[in-house]
Amino acid sequence: MSDFLRTDGVIICCSALKREVESLCRTHWQRHRLVFLPSLLHMHSERLASSLESAMETELGRSRGLVLIYGDCCARMTALEALPMVARTKGKNCFELLLGHAEYHRLSHEGAFFIVPEWTEHWKEFFPKGLGINCENVVGSMRKMHNKLIYLDTGLVQRPEKELCECAEYLRLPYESLSVSLEHLRATVEEALLRCITKVFLFEMKLSK
């Protein structure tokens, strides 16, 4: 394992995975500094991109390497991760980061709509308030694409049964809970950390020539 995993670095992450990433950092990456951006920024792609750019500019000015724990969450994500000394986790979204590629796609093809603990607590800010459309449009769109709601239970908080029931009732979808370990997320982040130190090394070699 690279020394970068044990030494100072910066991780910028969506707050949707705040508890999970904090738990992993306490065990595996204690010296890395964490920066979290609000998950509600996903409702405004350009605002998310500008918030990421601002946070990255600040952190890159005082750190050696930066990892983004994000999926394909905004149009400028590819450009952001292409910057020197920056790497991003590989995955379409936070659900794939938790489940792994194969399980995420299997359940997606079965019509699942996923929800993580942090989103469950604030679901009313996403549906319909965050989307800015009325109840029938939200429900109609969801039912065309999905046939069930799956709560990804990472075991770090008590399952919010009341909020889950309310969200499922609002969307008119049955819900189920799926216990998820943090191992896929850990492996994905550590792979990104290793890519980051490679980019740092190559960038510094280029500057030294």
Asked if residue 11 lies in contact with residue 67, where contact means CB atoms within 8 angstroms, the answer is yes
Q: Tell me the whole-structure pTM to 2 decimals.
A: 0.89
In a shared domain, residues 188 and 87? yes
- Domain shared by 154 and 195, yes or no: no
40 and 67 co-located in one domain: yes
What does the pLDDT look like over 77-126, one tens digit per residue?
Answer: 999 999 988 999 999 999 999 999 999 999 999 999 999 999 898 888 87
Residues 83 and 144 in one domain: no
Same domain, 152 and 81: no
Q: Are residues 101 and 151 in the same domain?
A: yes
The CA distance from 79 to 197, in Å, is: 18
Task: Give the domain extent around 28.
Answer: 3-94+182-208
Calpha distance 69→190 (Å, rounded) = 11
72 and 151 co-located in one domain: no
Q: Are residues 13 and 87 in the same domain?
A: yes
For residues 22 and 89, state if they share a domain.
yes
The runs of H, that is alpha helices, within 29-179 are 45-60, 77-81, 94-99, 101-109, 117-121, 123-126, 135-145, 161-171
How far, rounded to the nearest angstrom, does the alpha carbon of residue 180 sit from its chain's CA centroid? 15
- pLDDT of amino acid 21: 97
Number of domains composing the chain: 2
In a shared domain, residues 186 and 138: no
d(CA 17, CA 69): 9
Same domain, 17 and 79: yes
Where residue 7 falls among pLDDT bands split at 50, 70, 90?
low
**Residue closest to 37 by CA, chosen among 108, 118, 148:** 118
Within 10 Å of residue 103's Cβ, how many Cβ atoms?
Answer: 15
Using DSSP's 3-state secondary structure scheme, residue 196 falls into helix
| Helices and strands per DSSP (H, E), number in the chain | 10, 7
